[in-house]
Amino acid sequence: MIGIVYGISLMACNTKNEDRFIFFLHNRFLETHDLEELHPEYGKTAYLEIISKFEDNGFTVLSEKRNGNVNARDYAILITSQIDSLIRTGVLAQHITVVGTSKGGYIAQYVSTLTNNKDLNFVFIGSFQELDLQNIPEINFCGNILTIYEASDPFGASALKRKENSTCKIANFEEIELHTGLRHGFLFQPLDAWMHPTMAWANGNYGLEYANKH
């Protein structure tokens, strides 16, 4: 079992070129609440459980519980720096996946924009509305991108237009629409419905024949 690296720090991470890494970026609720606090509608954010599930499937997870209402772009700059450091150690870009749920998904979109690396993998979960095209015009998708959204979620919209408006050539782009009926709460839990396709994507299995096996 590969250990979790907390605090977005690579200093104690003994990397191997064949290792696969997930940067996991959690939702907004957890920024201003403790791990055990319950959302009034969606319950507990199962942050540690989500990380453990990634870990149990062989990934090295880099993550931290953000505190305060952080600026998404500023935080993305930090993640971008960590990715650059990881690549400099010899890790292949295609072995690195940035996974973000809700606000974490928006941070991941900024990472995609800032890194501008077509070989990195990204999974944006419950983090797109059509108004984003107008409200956040600076986002430019780049990398191998999977978006996962829930049909009953206010943030459950296809990001295909964002992909089409992006200037980076995207070799692999897929979307999965879920029908759990859990609204935004689907991403609070380590559901197979989104975690299995996420891990398939992080393992380089980019077709929906892999992503939909959950």
One DSSP character per residue, 63-112 reads E----S---HHHHHHHHHHHHHHHHHTT--GGGEEEEEETHHHHHHHHHH
Distance CA 7, CA 101 (A): 18
**Does this model's pTM top 0.85?**
yes
pLDDT of residue 149: 97
Domain map (residue ranges) of the chain: 5-211
**In terms of CATH architecture, what is 5-211?**
3-Layer(aba) Sandwich (3.40)
Three-state secondary-structure class, residue 208: helix
Distance CA 77, CA 206 (A): 26
Q: Per-residue pLDDT for the chain (214 aa), expressed as one digit of tens each?
A: 233 344 444 433 555 556 899 999 999 999 998 888 888 888 899 999 999 999 999 999 999 999 998 999 999 999 999 999 999 999 999 999 999 999 999 999 999 999 999 999 999 999 999 999 999 999 999 999 999 999 999 888 999 999 999 999 999 999 999 999 999 999 999 999 999 999 999 999 998 665 554 4
Give Cα 47 to chain centroid, integer Å. Answer: 13
Three-state secondary-structure class, residue 134: helix
Contact assessment for residue 60 and residue 13, using Cβ atoms and an 8 Å cutoff = yes
pLDDT of residue 1: 24
pLDDT of residue 75: 97
Q: At what angle do helices 192-202 and 47-56 cross, to 10 degrees?
A: 50
Distance CA 167, CA 100 (A): 22
- Measured CA distances, 67 to 23, 24, 71 (Å): 17, 15, 11
Residue 32 exposed, middle or buried by CB count within 10 Å (0-12, 13-18, 19+):
exposed
Residue 122 exposed, middle or buried by CB count within 10 Å (0-12, 13-18, 19+):
buried
At 208, the amino acid letter reads L
Contact assessment for residue 159 and residue 130, using Cβ atoms and an 8 Å cutoff = no
pLDDT of residue 43: 82
Three-state secondary-structure class, residue 25: strand
Eight-state DSSP code of residue 31 = G
Distance CA 140, CA 152 (A): 26
The half-sphere exposure of 30 on its side-chain side, counting CA atoms within 13 A, is: 24
